[in-house]
Amino acid sequence: MTNSDISTAASVSAGTPALLEAYSGRRPERLPVWFMRQAGRSLPEYKEVRAGTEMLDACLTPELAAEITCQPVRRHGVDAAILFSDIVVPLRLAGIDVEIVPGVGPVIADPVRTPADVARLTAHEPGDHAPIAAAVRAVTDELGTGDGPGDTPLIGFGGAPFTLAAYLVEGRPSRDHLAARALMHADPAAWDRLLTWTADLTGAFLAAQVDAGVRAVQLFDSWAGSLSVDDYTARAAPYSARALDHVADRVPRVSFGTGTSELLTVMAGHAEVVGVDHRLRLDVANERLGGEVPLQGNIDPALLTAPWEVLERHVRAVVEAGRAAPGHVVNLGHGVPPTTDPAVLTRIVELVHSL
């Protein structure tokens, strides 16, 4: 590489937001940080603007979804926004009767238990993504497109096919996902049809967000940790890959799940970045991944209510462990608990940026 090439590369790097630098496996000048579930829940301004509006209705009201998406960027100075939405929004758009019940989570009116149920469900086509695209455009109008150093990139997201299928089969959140895992083994053909459908539903949802302007996407596999490595590899991961293939070579793709410490190498097969929950140190995760995959994570959300000296020590340890990876985006090991003091999140951002 000539001196001119080096100078050009440096100038390109300097103009790239830190988040996208880290997702590309490089070390930006400032360590980037954002929080899963930063848009909403813990913020008083969120509670104010969403008062009287059901969750899924808020997700599908573009101006409201955009406002909620931007709130944590304004308050905390995080290095990324993540679209305010929900993994079951594509189900609602496709005409599936789903509600998010406070204190419970997503509830499916007609759970999918038989091959006939699967056939009925998979006859639904992806719905109109216009409200999602409008929300994305409204966010980028305020935060920038993510092409310059002053912009805040917007991350889109979708639910992993297994997690969506688990909700559809169980009918609501479950601790062990026995019904979903039983269907997986009892009727492989029905399982394949169901997972192919959920993969394409999420894939279309992700593609609509990328078309509208998001600069990265994250696949949330909330329940993958209930699977063995063999089941995840054979009966879940191929469908996650199918979903993410809808935006391949367009934006960085992050794969995240909870309880997935034993699944990381498989997850890395379908995404450029792997999110690590709080159960595994980042240096250990990096070693398992051969030192070749950018990582995201993994502050323990439980420590957000600990005394500051305890939390600060933990954040510094996370950052230190993350130095082993080719790129590191600081995040939580799961989402922001609703009882979190917003000032604590702002203080973490300031600490991470100082490091």
DSSP 8-state symbol, 263: G
- Domain residues for 71? 3-354
Q: Which residue has better confidence, 297 or 15?
A: 297
Tens digit of pLDDT for each residue in 118-169? 999 999 999 999 999 999 999 999 999 888 778 999 999 999 999 999 999 9
pLDDT of residue 2: 35
pLDDT of residue 1: 35
CA-only gyration radius of the chain, Å: 20
Average pLDDT, the chain: 93
Tally the domains of the chain. 1
- Rounded average pLDDT over 264-278: 97
User: Can you list the alpha helix ranges (DSSP code H) found in 83-228?
Assistant: 89-93, 115-122, 130-143, 161-170, 178-186, 188-212
Poorest-pLDDT segment among 6-15, 98-107, 178-187:
6-15
Q: Rounded to the nearest 10 degrees, what angle do helices 161-170 and 188-212 cross at?
A: 120
Give 221's strand partners: 257
The CATH number linked to 16 is 3.20.20.210
Question: Confidence class of residue 176 from pLDDT cuts 50, 70 and 90?
Answer: confident
Q: Tell me the whole-structure pTM to 2 decimals.
A: 0.93
pLDDT of residue 147: 81
Q: Residue 7: CA atoms inside 13 Å, Cβ hemisphere, count?
A: 3
pLDDT of residue 14: 53
Active site positions, annotated: 37, 41, 50, 86, 167
In this predicted structure, the answer to whether residue 338 has a pLDDT above a threshold of 80 is yes
